[in-house]
C-alpha cells in the first residue's frame, strides 16, 4: 500500500487490487484510528478524511500500515440483497456473441454469481459489484447511450451493477429490475453500500433460449472515470 497526503485533512491510500481496497475499507470502518472521519472507497484506493486536531497524516499513515486486514467473509455467507431481474436487455445478444455463450448461458452465469459492493460512483447510488464470472467480462459499448432507464442491470469489464436512476451510460444492458435501489426519503438513501452482498434472481420474461448450459443453475431466492481505471468507471 501507498499512503499519499491529500491537503490538510485527508490521505489517499493506494492498494494493490480491488480486494485489498475492500478489506482496508472494512478495517477502517470497523476499527478506525483516532481522528478518522469519512471514508470514500474506490476501485483500488480509499480516501480517508481526518480531523487535524486529533491526528496528523504521519500518525495516520503509521496507523493505517499497522492495521490488520482481515479476509472478507464470502459474499454467500453475508446478509444478501436479492435483486429480481427480467433478462430482456437490449445488449444480451451482444454479450452472448462477445463471450461465445448463448443468451441463456449468460443469464445462468450472471445469476450464479455471489457479488459484493466494492464502491459507489458515477452517480448517486450506483454500486460497482465485484464477483462477476470472468466469462462475462466484456467492454463498454463503443457508443454510450444518452438514456439508460432506471433499474437497468448491466456489465462492463470486471463489474456488474444496476442503474439506480435514469441517466446516460455505456455498460452492456442485460435486463431490468423493478426493485428500488435509490430513495432520497430513506436513510441511507441507497440499499447498496460498500460491503453489501448481492445476488441476482431471474424472473419470467427474458433469458434468451432459457438454457442453463455450462454456467450452472440460476440464483436462488457517485463522477465518472473509465472502467478499469483506479477510480472506477463510466456508467
CATH (domain of 39): 3.30.1360.40
Residue 197, CA atoms < 13 Å, CB-side half-sphere: 11
Give, in degrees to the nearest 5, the angle at Cα 142 between 205 and 156: 55
For residue 209, pLDDT over 80 is answered with no
- Structural domain includes residue 46: yes
Task: Give the chain's domain count.
Answer: 2
Same domain? For 52 and 86 the reply is no
pLDDT above 50: residue 174: yes
Same domain flag for 106 and 30: no
Mean pLDDT value of segment 130-140:
96
One domain for residues 203 and 118: yes
Contact 85, 175 (CB under 8 A): yes
**pLDDT value for 219:** 30
Peptide bond into 193 cis (omega under 30): no
Domain, as residue range, for 185: 75-215
Q: Residue 150: inside a domain, yes or no? A: yes
Query: Does residue 230 fall inside a structural domain?
Result: no
DSSP H stretches of helix in 53-201: 57-66, 92-99, 103-112
Residue 200 sits in the same domain as residue 108: yes
Cβ within 8 Å of residue 77, ≥6 positions away = none
User: Considering the domain boundaries, does residue 229 fall inside one?
Assistant: no
Amino acid at each position: 500500500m501507498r499512503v499519499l497526503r491529500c491537503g490538510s485533512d485527508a490521505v489517499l491510500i493506494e492498494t494493490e487490487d480491488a480486494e485489498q481496497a475492500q478489506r482496508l475499507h472494512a478495517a477502517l470502518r470497523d476499527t478506525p484510528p483516532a481522528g478518522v472521519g469519512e471514508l470514500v472507497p474506490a476501485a483500488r484506493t480509499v480516501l480517508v478524511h481526518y480531523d487535524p486536531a486529533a491526528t496528523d497524516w504521519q500518525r495516520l499513515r503509521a496507523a493505517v500500515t499497522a492495521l490488520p486486514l482481515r479476509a472478507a467473509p464470502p459474499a454467500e455467507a453475508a446478509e444478501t440483497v436479492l435483486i429480481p431481474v427480467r433478462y430482456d436487455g437490449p445488449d444480451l445478444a451482444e454479450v452472448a456473441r462477445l463471450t461465445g455463450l448463448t443468451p441463456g448461458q449468460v443469464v445462468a452465469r450472471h445469476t450464479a454469481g455471489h457479488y459484493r459492493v466494492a464502491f459507489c460512483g458515477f452517480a448517486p447510488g450506483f454500486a460497482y459489484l465485484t464477483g462477476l464470472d470472468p466469462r462475462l467480462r466484456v467492454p463498454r459499448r463503443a457508443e454510450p447511450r444518452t438514456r439508460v432507464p432506471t433499474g437497468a442491470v448491466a456489465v462492463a469489464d470486471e463489474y456488474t451493477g444496476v442503474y439506480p436512476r435514469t441517466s446516460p451510460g455505456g455498460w452492456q444492458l442485460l435486463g431490468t429490475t423493478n426493485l428500488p435501489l435509490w430513495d432520497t426519503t430513506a436513510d441511507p438513501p441507497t440499499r447498496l453500500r460498500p460491503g453489501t452482498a448481492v445476488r441476482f434472481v431471474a424472473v419470467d420474461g427474458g433469458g434468451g433460449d432459457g438454457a442453463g448450459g455450462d454456467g450452472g443453475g440460476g440464483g436462488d431466492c457517485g463522477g465518472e472515470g473509465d472502467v478499469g481505471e483506479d477510480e472506477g468507471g463510466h456508467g
